[in-house]
Chains A and B, each alone.
Chain A
């Protein structure tokens, strides 16, 4: 069985073995092996030129990735927690995302880091940052939920010619375990969603750790209400697989969007707008959202549990939609 964390580690290890231009930069990624031990043993295997412990300088780390990418290297940058991507915002938004557009020279590199709540880690180690970047053309964003996708999407992201933000959910690191096929070269293309659970009565569009809560809710609805909810795992947020969302919408006519980030300006808003623009006639009910509260991520368990979307919320919203 391979955990979600091991899948990320395997993807990095294998890409570094088959491609000398792949290298890692980040805080404590070398001797310590990364805060979550993703890169444990990498320094010994690949040396300090390819596993670089940096100063606590996120802008400098991302900047170096841009320059190295211009030189044909394939940097993978680790944010110790994805919350710390904020100090690198300028380099990502103003430099990396616009350099191909402005000059024709792209910067293909990956920024990966642990996102998400549920770890009782408080306001600065629990955020989901996708909406901060969703409005920036030139960036790609992925958020795997399974070990298979964690591995396949990271390998694809490393090979991608554009900057990719790779959001790995820390709650899933050791909780998700799968048998990964050994004979297959696992590679998951960016921009393609996945049907996590098929169903005809309602569509739940989600990604990241919320895939499992959506699945649990769908199972309960099937058992208790006899309705089948289809769970679409977006996997990639940009470019968005709108075709998969529309296909499911046309099939079920009812859509619930679930994400762990706060509601206001959240990713669900964009998905909602696109469905309304392109499949309004197919809808039998208003599109609904289940999201986190519009607050910072609180620390204390009762607060954080109230902040985060729960299975019960999804069940309630699902029933409302089915009854509409």
Chain B
């Protein structure tokens, strides 16, 4: 681990964000089992160091577009913990207002651009933010995330081509976590090292131990500095491992236990705690006190969130466009007119007369 300008408080925060990430996801998993969290839950267990360490290298005014295992990066950038609970439980009060689950959202004030489920696309969108920085002469940078599987999408390739050709201030963190759902990374591309993919775009790559939060941070600092200095995009290849299935429904029986065991020994949080203890850093109160603080913060946020109401059904019709259009009035689920007249006459059943042959122009008589 190299020399760096991190203070004791920074080190404590790096650990705190990783603990928050893990603790938050553990609570979401419990809520999923209780039926409060609906849909899917994609955990980042074992990968927390990569989003936390990389996002920590950003400054004010920079933008970040996470992928779906980057909760840690969102927390580093100030996404409220309570809102994560609100979104996953489909409640009102967060920006999604129940329209989308997960922890992703676009929040310009925080410099966050939320991804969608089509992988690799957020790089394309974030390129536009970087273009805006350049047009306005602002010295900010953009950072986004892709698993190695996501880099195989057309959108990802196009996004890289665009960012590289335009020399945009972009850092792409390639999270090589070995598995894309059930497909091994060796079945995703014929590269020996994922850093090699950078050659196709003519941009530099930095390989890093993605489970070492300080190494990730250092590499991100270098990539961010290059982007800010006009040096264009960098791909930061973080070597890590997905310790749980693709989502909660996936027990990942396809992952060999030996592989899991090897990576279990490289847990990013345990590793960083050991490092802090060994180096006797003055990180304030003890690590166990920090864990208690984190648990308390998470429980309070969860409690707060669960007290929020669910949306009312007709809220589904709003915010499709900036201004409401008549197409989205609530009654569009069914025919818009005529139902009020149903009480007027007895319902007619069966054909009142034989229908005419199509196109004969002959009117049926009632």
Indicate if A55 sits at the interface (CB-CB under 8 A).
Answer: yes
Our pick among A60, A62, A101, A240 for the contact of B327 (Cβ within 8 Å) is: A240
Q: Is the CB of A94 within 8 A of B131?
A: no
Fill in one digit per residue for A89-120: 1 if any B CB lies within 8 Å of its CB, else 0: 01100110011111111101000000000000
- In the complex, are the beta carbons of A60 and B95 less than 8 A apart? no
Q: Which of A62, A69, A98, A104 has the most CB of B within 10 A?
A: A104
Bound CA–CA A91/B326 (angstroms): 26
Which stretch, A2-10, A70-78, A291-299, touches the partner chain B?
Answer: A70-78
Smallest CB–CB gap between B215 and chain A, Å? Answer: 29
Contacts of B155 on A, CB cut-off 8 Å? 59-60, 63, 90-91
Neighbouring B residues of A108 by C-beta, 8 Å? 322
The 8 A CB mask of B76-100 against A (1 = contact, 0 = none) is: 0000000000000000000111011
Nearest CB of B to A322, in Å: 11
**Residues of B with C-beta under 8 A to A90:** 118, 121, 155
Q: Are B131 and A64 in contact (CB under 8 A)?
A: yes
Whether B320 pairs with A138 at a CB distance below 8 angstroms is yes
In the bound assembly, the distance between CA atoms of A166 and B159 in angstroms comes to 24
Q: Which of A59, A94, A138 is most buried by chain B, counting CB atoms within 10 A of its CB?
A: A59
Q: In the complex, what distance in Å separates the CA atom of A106 from the CA atom of B95?
A: 12
Tell whether B128 is near chain A: CB-to-CB under 8 Å.
yes
Decide if A98 touches B116 in the complex (CB within 8 Å): yes
**Please, how many angstroms separate the alpha-carbon atoms of A52 and B319 in the complex?**
31
A269 on interface, CB distance cutoff 8 Å: no
Partner of A63, one of B124, B166, B337: B124
Give CA–CA (A95, B123) in the complex, Å: 12
Count, chain A residues at interface, CB 8 A: 55
A213 at the interface (CB under 8 A from B): no
Is B105 interfacial (CB-CB < 8 Å)? Answer: yes
A278 touches B361 (CB 8 A): no
Asked whether any CB of chain B lies closer than 8 Å to the CB of A33, the reply is: no
CB neighbours of A99 from chain B (8 A): 106, 114
Whether the pair B326, A239 counts as a contact (CB closer than 8 A) is yes
- A103 vs B137: C-alpha distance when bound (angstroms): 27
Tell me if A23 counts as interface (CB < 8 A to partner B): yes
Docked Cα-Cα span, A102 to B117, in Å, equals: 12
B190 within 8 Å of A (CB atoms): no
A257 at the interface (CB under 8 A from B): no
B257, chain A: closest CB distance, angstroms:
37
- Whether, in the assembled complex, B238 has its beta carbon less than 8 Å from a beta carbon of chain A, the answer is no
Per-position 1/0 for B104-129, Cβ under 8 A of A: 01111000011011100101111111
Partner of B165, one of A55, A63, A68: A55
Do the beta carbons of A67 and B129 come within 8 Å of each other? Answer: yes
- Please tell me if the beta carbons of A69 and B128 are within 8 angstroms of each other in the complex: yes
B278 near A: Cβ within 8 Å? no
Q: Which of A213-244 contact B (CB under 8 A)?
A: 238-240, 242
B336 within 8 A of A: yes
Closest chain B residue to A96 by CB distance? B125
A161 / chain B contacts, CB cutoff of 8 Å: 321-323
The answer to the question of B158 belonging to the interface, with a C-beta cut-off of 8 Å to chain A, is yes
CA distance A167 to B307 in the complex (A): 47
Known contacts A55-B162, A59-B155, A67-B127: A100-B319 contact under CB 8 Å: yes
Cβ-Cβ contact count across A and B, 8 Å cutoff: 166
Assuming the contacts A60-B161, A63-B124, A67-B126, asked whether A49 and B134 have C-beta atoms less than 8 A apart, the reply is yes
A91-B129 in contact given A70-B113, A101-B319, A323-B361 (Cβ < 8 Å): no
Select one of A69, A98, A278 contacting B337, CB under 8 A: A278
Question: Does A66 reach chain B (CB closer than 8 Å)?
Answer: yes
Q: Is B325 an interface residue (CB 8 A)?
A: yes
Distance in angstroms between the alpha carbons of A55 and B168 in the assembled complex: 14
Q: Decide yes or no: A67 and B322 within 8 Å by CB, A59-B155, A60-B124, A90-B155 being known contacts.
A: no
Does B264 interact with chain A (Cβ within 8 Å)? no
CB neighbours (8 Å) of A72 from chain B are: 132
B286 CB → nearest A CB, Å: 39
A103 pairs with B116, CB closer than 8 A: no
A94-B121, A277-B337 as given contacts; A64 in contact with B127, CB under 8 Å:
yes
**Is B274 an interface residue, CB under 8 A from the partner?**
no
> In the complex, A102→B131 CA distance in Å?
24
Contact in complex: A67, B113 (CB < 8 Å):
yes
A247 at interface (Cβ–Cβ under 8 A)?
no
Contact A50–B135 (Cβ < 8 Å) = yes
In the assembled complex, the Cα of A98 lies from the Cα of B96 at a distance in Å of: 11
CB distance from B142 to the nearest CB of A (A): 8
Q: Closest chain B residue to A109 by CB distance? A: B128
Asked whether any CB of chain B lies closer than 8 Å to the CB of A17, the reply is no
The answer on a CB contact under 8 Å between A238 and B131 is no
Q: For the complex, is A137 an interface residue (Cβ under 8 Å from B)?
A: yes
Contacts of B325 in A (CB 8 A): 191, 239
Complex contacts, B130 vs chain A, CB 8 Å: 67
Tell me, rounded to whole Å, the shortest Cβ–Cβ distance linking A311 to chain B.
21
Residue of B nearest to A50 (CB): B135
Judge whether A101 and B121 touch: CB under 8 Å: no
Q: How far is the CA of A67 from the CA of B131 in the complex (A)?
A: 9
Q: Which one of A71, A137, A238 has the greatest number of beta carbons of chain B within 10 Å? A: A71
Q: How far is the CB of B146 from chain A (nearest CB, A)?
A: 13
The chain A residues found within 8 Å of chain B, CB to CB, are 23, 49-50, 52, 54-55, 57-73, 75, 87, 90-91, 94-95, 98-106, 108, 137-138, 140, 160-162, 191, 238-240, 242, 277-278, 320, 323-324
In the A-B complex, the 4 residue pairs with the smallest Cβ-Cβ separation, listed nearest first, are A63-B124, A67-B128, A71-B132, A68-B128
Subset of 12 A-B contacts with CB under 8 Å:
A55-B158, A57-B157, A57-B162, A59-B121, A60-B155, A70-B128, A95-B125, A99-B114, A102-B106, A103-B105, A239-B325, A320-B361
- Which residues of B line the A interface, CB within 8 A? 95-97, 99-100, 105-108, 113-114, 116-118, 121, 123-135, 154-155, 157-159, 161-162, 165-166, 319-323, 325-328, 335-338, 361
